[in-house]
């Protein structure tokens, strides 16, 4: 039997643990009316058949086999190139549980709206059933889901991004619990496009988009919006954070979790290559994950983290030998590219790749004309297994996770915010994360470069009221807890000439070293109302040429500017009304008073 024509009865048992799954699949099939149903097992043969089918119908285009073996290009609909936050809803019974940070719709209304869209939508298509596990398959921190989709492109990406197939189905059978995700590309009509989340039902419904975060339901939808709800109930944290390990010359490794908004350098930091002097001294950086982090308190009081994903869905533009050589090395083979340009000999190309090549065709498949559009869409992507990364850490598969020494928040701020500062304690750290601001990027639809509050980089992804979310964060500060130190960074401070003051990239390790020394108690800091800042002498700046303006702005703070900032922070907290934790508001008032 063809690997893509199996019916569900061939892939499931009659055991009671899978009865709910079988019933749900049957009910979805009855509504969507596909021509065939295929249960995905995650095998190589299945993937080969699926890729061959997509190559035949033009969904995937073969790239240069000599330069990029087993790699493919996908061009999405021009109106379907980013997350659609304005069409993304959290559907809780009570509106206030979703909070002002989410668009809300009553569950009954949302189900009715989506079920009408799904009616008959898979006629002429195959319905794929994707059992998947977010996190190592045998980790107690992992959670399972099943995505039903009519997009073979989604299947191919989910195979890379999750532990997909037979092993996940076996875990679902053992545990009897899973997140339900139903997706259809529909007609790819922007006017018939919604992404609905039902946290109380552990259910996701997505219609009308084939783009990453809208369609790969294990990613933002499950691993953040639904998982954040699960985490609050179960006593853990689901966060929009990279995880990296920094190994010092003595062979000791500290693990750091860092939250930045999309397209603000998470992947670059996660795959950081130390500057030459650090490498020669024996420093190493290990990559656990570049986007999502699930953290849970361990028996010793520390927070332990896993990366629930098994691949990278990274932003291509700007990725180069200079900015992120590890990412570039990762995507030389076995990669799915989405919405990049191509050279005359069919190599992938994007703005900022700086490899001496020139684009011939743009992301829409038209002859490249710089006056018309960039070669690659600003939010074009690559999907690749994390194991292909040269800095990939085998600890990424540790079922117990890695212990977190420091949590870092950071946004894209051209002014005001210094290079790095440390929070005084956990409550201050939660406020630092809650108040985080950043300039918007191309990862979401809408204007680019607008400063907005993006608490913990979770504004588009938190599945419930931010006030309750902040309270949940505060709840981890209990007797016996050994919580990470909290820091804030800003790689994007600009000078009067509009240029970045900090070199960034590998030199960011200089800042991470200071953090680790602070964790160990071996580095100095200057007390200020906004937190503890390093003096210039506290950082290893050897080999860097920083102007007087850079030194003043990177290591100092503008009292008047911060007075205005904390007034704005207070207004932001007040937007959440009486649910806002009193401790967080009191911390804002305390710091405002210290700045006066």
The neighbour count for residue 126, using CB atoms within 10 Å, is 19
User: Among 144, 226, 134, 289, which residue's Cα sits nearest to residue 462?
Assistant: 226
**Is the C-alpha dihedral spanning 581, 587, 593, 596 positive or negative?**
negative
Look up residue 103 and give its two tokens.
């668009």
Look up residue 524 and give its two tokens.
């100095």
Distances (CA, A) of 394 to 89, 306, 387, 464: 36, 12, 9, 33
Contact 587, 428 (CB under 8 A): yes
Look up residue 20 and give its two tokens.
């709910």
Look up residue 273 and give its two tokens.
């290559």
CA distance 41 to 169: 8
Look up residue 414 and give its two tokens.
């051209």
Residue 11 gets which letter from DSSP?
T
Distances (CA, A) of 497 to 13, 492, 547: 66, 13, 12
Give me the torsion for CA of 348, 353, 355, 356, rounded to 10°.
90
Contact 38, 4 (CB under 8 A): yes
CA distance 364 to 551: 44
CA distance 246 to 504: 17
The neighbour count for residue 295, using CB atoms within 10 Å, is 26
Let me know if 121 is a catalytic residue. no
CA distance 524 to 534: 7
> Would strands 402-410 and 253-259 be described as parallel, antiparallel, or unpaired?
parallel
Q: How long a stretch of residues is the chain?
A: 596
Residue 222 gets which letter from DSSP?
I
Q: Which of 264, 293, 389, 462 is catalytic?
A: 264
Q: Which residues are catalytic?
A: 264
């Amino acid at each position: 039997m063809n690997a893509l024509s199996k019916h569900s009865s061939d892939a499931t048992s009659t055991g009671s643990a899978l009865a709910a799954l079988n019933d749900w699949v049957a009910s979805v099939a009855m509504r969507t009316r596909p021509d065939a149903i295929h249960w995905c097992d995650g095998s190589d043969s299945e993937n080969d058949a699926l890729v061959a089918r997509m190559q035949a119908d033009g969904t995937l285009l073969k790239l240069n086999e000599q330069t990029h073996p087993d790699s493919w290009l996908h061009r999405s609909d021009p109106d379907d190139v980013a997350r659609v936050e304005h069409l993304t809803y959290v559907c809780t019974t009570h509106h206030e549980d979703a909070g002002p940070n989410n668009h809300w719709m009553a569950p009954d209304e949302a189900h009715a709206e989506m079920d009408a869209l799904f009616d008959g939508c898979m006629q002429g298509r195959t319905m794929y059933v994707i059992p998947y596990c977010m996190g190592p398959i045998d980790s107690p921190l992992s959670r399972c889901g099943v995505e039903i989709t009519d997009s073979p492109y989604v299947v191919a990406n989910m195979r890379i991004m999750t532990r997909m197939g037979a092993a996940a189905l076996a875990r679902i059978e053992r545990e009897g619990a899973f997140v339900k995700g139903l997706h259809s590309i529909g007609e790819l009509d922007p006017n018939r496009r919604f992404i609905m989340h039902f946290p109380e039902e552990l259910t996701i419904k997505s219609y009308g988009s084939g783009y990453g975060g809208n369609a790969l339901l294990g990613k933002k939808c499950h691993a953040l919006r639904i998982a954040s709800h699960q985490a609050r109930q179960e006593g853990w944290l689901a966060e929009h954070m990279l995880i990296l390990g920094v190994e010092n010359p003595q062979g000791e490794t500290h693990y750091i979790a860092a939250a930045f908004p999309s397209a603000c350098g998470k992947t670059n930091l996660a795959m950081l290559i130390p500057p030459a002097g650090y490498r020669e001294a024996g420093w190493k950086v290990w990559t656990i994950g570049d986007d999502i982090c699930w953290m849970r308190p361990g028996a010793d009081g520390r927070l332990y983290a896993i990366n629930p994903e098994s691949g990278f869905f990274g932003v291509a533009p700007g990725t180069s030998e200079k900015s992120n050589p590890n990412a570039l090395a990762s995507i030389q083979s076995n990669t799915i590219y989405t919405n990049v340009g191509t050279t005359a000999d069919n190599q992938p190309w994007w703005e900022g790749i700086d490899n001496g090549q020139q684009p011939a065709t743009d992301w829409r498949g038209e002859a490249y004309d710089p006056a018309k559009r960039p070669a690659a869409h600003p939010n074009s992507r690559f999907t690749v297994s994390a194991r292909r990364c040269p800095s990939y850490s085998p600890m990424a598969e540790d079922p117990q996770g890695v212990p977190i020494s420091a949590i870092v928040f950071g946004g894209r701020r051209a002014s005001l915010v210094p290079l790095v500062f440390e929070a005084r304690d956990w409550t201050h750290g939660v406020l630092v994360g809650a108040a985080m601001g950043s300039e918007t990027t191309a990862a979401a639809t809408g204007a680019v470069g607008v400063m907005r509050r993006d608490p913990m980089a979770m504004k588009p992804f938190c599945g419930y009221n931010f006030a309750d979310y902040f309270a949940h964060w505060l709840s981890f500060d209990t007797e016996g807890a050994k919580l990470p130190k909290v820091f804030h960074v800003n790689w994007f401070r600009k000078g009067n000439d509009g240029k970045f003051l900090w070199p960034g990239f590998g030199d960011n390790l200089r800042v991470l070293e200071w953090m680790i020394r602070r964790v160990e108690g071996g580095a100095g800091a200057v007390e200020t109302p906004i937190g503890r800042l390093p003096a210039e002498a506290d950082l290893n700046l050897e080999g860097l040429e920083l102007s007087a303006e850079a030194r003043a702005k990177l290591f100092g703070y503008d009292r008047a500017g911060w007075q205005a900032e904390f007034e704005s922070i207070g207004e932001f907290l007040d937007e959440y009304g009486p649910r806002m934790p009193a401790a967080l508001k009191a911390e804002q008032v305390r710091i405002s008073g210290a700045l006066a």
